[in-house]
Amino acid sequence: MSTYLEAPVETERRPLSIAITVARLALIGVALVVVAGAFAYLGGWLSPNNLTPARFTDAFERVDGVHAGFRRNHAKGVGVSGVFESNGNGARFSKAAVFHPGRVPVVGRFSLSGGQPDVADGADAVRGLGLQFNLPDGEVWRTAMINLPVFPFRTPEAFYQRLVASKPDPNTGKPDPAAVQAFLDRHPEIVQAMNVIKGQPLASGFDNSTFHGLNAFRLVNSTGSSVPVRWVLTPMQPFEAASTASSVQDKNYLFDALIAQIHRQPLRWQLILVIGQPGDPTHDATVAWPAGRERVDVGTLTLDRVDAEDTSAATDINFDPLVLPAGIAPSDDPLLSARSAVYSQSFTRREGEAKQPSPITPADVHRGD
């Protein structure tokens, strides 16, 4: 009896369970489409005009080519190492261990801007210095600085558009002057920044260059109060102006001089914190803060060893400016997160490639040893 009673019930349920199964499959399908769409959106495939880290890195590659294993910007360089000796003056502003009195080991890399690892050294190529401070308990602080007093670009988009406009025209081998001019007309802040940059005397080498962090950060002290900051490395080697003579220099003359100097004696810089006042722009690296801001000498960087990229620990470091210890925090500068994302993209590409030997070889670096 019960089987007769159950039978009609079963036949009524079957279409219902099929409908539920179909609905479930449809839901799973919708979820998969949403997930795939989210990946496509984040990857930039659904938004061809959006600037993504991959597009930015592609632009560096279009301008300078792909050089397997090398950085897509600041490709030419050598590794260095030494110590930072803090005098304790920074502890008033930041609880970061790097500002406690004492010494921490440092690994770094001097570089020239651009994506060509074998470019000839030139006096007006932008000089870079990436540093990693190895703090107690495994904390690190990374910063990448250049020898310009301001950055030419306020936003990542402006930098990207400049790269696109500077791509050499296949017919002339040079950037299209009309495209460059049209770009500058849209960005008067770049013209102003370039005037500031041209007004700064150019040092003869890496050793006597001032390196600027340019982006603003925030220092947080042990009571939790915070101040805006920019940092600068000022050389303890005497200033000498870059030669304006048009004589042809050796292809690696800046790096050769740096290598010879470090072999002769350690090179030193003072780390200066420039403390911002309320109202000083923290989101605009094209503008210098007014003169007269408090400048605090927080210690001395000593670099006493140089290594070729092929053997230096710095080669496999991504000098991402957002790798910060407790006590140093990012500001609202839009360049910071863009730098972090594009450096990561460049790092991922170069670490996945078989690296070609560096043009400055271990033999070049250790000739005087």
For binding to ligand HEM (CB under 6 A), which residues are involved? 56, 60, 71-74, 77, 109, 111, 128, 130, 144-146, 151, 156, 159, 213-215, 285, 318-319, 335, 338-339, 342-343, 346-347, 350
Identify which of residues 335 and 365 has a Cβ nearer to ligand HEM in the complex: 335
Identify which of residues 294 and 353 has a Cβ nearer to ligand HEM in the complex: 353
Identify whether 74 is a catalytic site residue.
Answer: yes
Amino acid symbol at 284: D
- Least separation in angstroms between residue 315's CB and ligand HEM is 9
The two structure tokens encoding residue 178: 């009309």
Identify which of residues 61 and 92 has a Cβ nearer to ligand HEM in the complex: 61
Q: Among all residues, whose Cβ is closest to ligand HEM?
A: 128
- Least separation in angstroms between residue 235's CB and ligand HEM is 16
The two structure tokens encoding residue 48: 């061809």
Helices (H), the chain: 2-43, 53-64, 156-165, 177-186, 188-198, 253-264, 334-351, 362-366
Residues counted in the chain = 369
Identify which of residues 265 and 337 has a Cβ nearer to ligand HEM in the complex: 337
The Cα–Cα gap between 62 and 94 comes to: 41
The Cα–Cα gap between 227 and 39 comes to: 38
- Least separation in angstroms between residue 306's CB and ligand HEM is 14
Q: Is 123 in contact with 147 (CB distance < 8 Å)?
A: no
Contacts of 133 (CB under 8 A, 6+ apart): 84, 98, 104, 105, 106, 140, 141, 142, 325
- Least separation in angstroms between residue 100's CB and ligand HEM is 25
Identify which of residues 84 and 343 has a Cβ nearer to ligand HEM in the complex: 343
Which of 74, 100, 187, 263 is labelled catalytic?
A: 74
- Least separation in angstroms between residue 264's CB and ligand HEM is 23
- Least separation in angstroms between residue 65's CB and ligand HEM is 14
Q: Which residues does residue 241 pair with via DSSP β-bridges, in sequence order?
A: 203
Which string of b and e fits 167-191 if b means at least 16 CB within 10 Å?
A: eeeeeeeebeeeeeeebeeebebbe
Identify which of residues 60 and 99 has a Cβ nearer to ligand HEM in the complex: 60
DSSP 114-125: SS-TTPPP-TTS
The Cα–Cα gap between 18 and 16 comes to: 5
Active site residues: 74
